[in-house]
Amino acid sequence: MGSTKLFVTLCVLPLLASSFCSAQLSANFYASSCPNLQTIVRNAMTTAVNGQPRLGASILRLFFHDCFVNGCDGSILLDDTSTFTGEKNANPNRNSARGFEVIDTIKTRVEAACNATVSCADILALSARDGVVLLGGPSWTVPLGRRDARTASQSAANSQIPSPASSLATLISMFSAKGLSASDMTALSGGHTIGFARCTTFRNRIYNDTNIDATFAATRRAGCPASGGDARLAPLDNTQTRFDNNYYTNLVARRGLLHSDQELFNGGSQDARVRTYSTNGATFARDFAAAMVKMGNISPLTGTNGEIRRNCRVVN
């Protein structure tokens, strides 16, 4: 009994090493209670990503932004109401977090198959994995058993999700605070091999940074004016609908779109790892998959903590 109490205590520490709690999650958590769960999620994600490949990146980003704010607890999915302030309007999410309707669709289908059983947090974890796979990336076994938060934190979303203007030191520190190493951070950043970024997030990079390929900067300036056009999009790498290692090839060529991307290859501690990934896609894929499992283990609500939301947008 004493060791169980100790384990639970460790699991609620805010700055835990993520591995403390992973033992509470299990790949077979829904094997008997919702045996078709993974098929339901994969089928819905296949439809979504085939219709709009960008959604694979959008949902991967939702999962990252969920896990970095009080753990992987589905809090990012909660809507603001007159009496509740969620995370959707925090600076890192406002006008950019997307894919919520896909999660709604999956939740509706999962509820029809096994009601009040599967958390929104777990649906998001599975959807993020499937989006990566559908765009040609690696697969991994997703540990399951997370429960859904009844609360959210706009302030934590504003302070704990790394900004695209972050320095390497800041990135390492912010990932370390979640139990993730510098090498985990560099592998997870490779999620930017898919999807798009808004002009407002890379304007300063293309107009003011000096560690940038001149031709690349000129190309991006053509679609992102020095003022205005904040919502205009540019691909995060040149194969934005294929999950590959081109993100790292671009970094070596000084063609990282975000300042925080190029920080990984700018004379610092991660240069060698970036070079390795740029020439060895299999190594990147392996490390990315392992880091995704580790990120998915950040502070899960388990046991009787939290709830199983019926609708991912509102607490029960």
DSSP secondary structure string, 72-125?
SSSGGGPPPBTTB--STTSTTTTTT---HHHHHHHHHHHHHHSTTTS-HHHHHH
**75 assigned ligand-binding residue:** yes
What is the rounded distance in angstroms from the CA atom of residue 227 to the CA atom of residue 1? 61
- The rounded distance, in Å, linking the Cα atoms of 313 and 75 is 9
Q: Is 104 annotated as a binding residue?
A: no
**Spatial separation of the C-alpha atoms in residues 70 and 54, rounded to whole Å:** 26
Tokens matching residue 247:
């993100």
The SS3 assignment for 32 reads coil
Euclidean distance between CA atoms 272 and 5, whole angstroms: 42
Which residues form the catalytic set?
A: 65
CA dist., res. 30 & res. 8, Å (int): 22
Task: Let me know: does 104 contact 55? Beta carbons within 8 Å.
Answer: no
Establish whether 69 is an annotated binding residue.
yes
Task: Find out whether 71 is annotated in a ligand binding site.
Answer: yes
The residues, ordered by sequence, that sit 6+ positions from 26 with a Cβ below 8 Å of its Cβ are 143, 144, 145
Residues 182, 268 contacting (CB under 8 angstroms): no
25 contact partners, CB below 8 Å, separation of at least 6: 143, 144, 145, 146, 296, 297, 300, 302
Residue type, 206: I
Confirm or deny that 141 is annotated as ligand binding: no
271 is in an annotated binding site: no
DSSP secondary structure letter of residue 147: B
Residue 79 annotated as lining a ligand binding site? no
Check whether 193 is labelled as a binding-site residue. Answer: yes
Q: Is 259 annotated as a binding residue?
A: no
Nearest of 208, 200, 78 to residue 149 by alpha carbon: 78
Q: 235 labelled as ligand-binding?
A: no
List residues forming the annotated binding site for Ca(2+).
66, 69, 71, 73, 75, 87, 193, 237, 239, 244
List residues forming the annotated binding site.
66, 69, 71, 73, 75, 87, 162, 192-193, 237, 239, 244
List residues forming the annotated binding site for heme b.
192
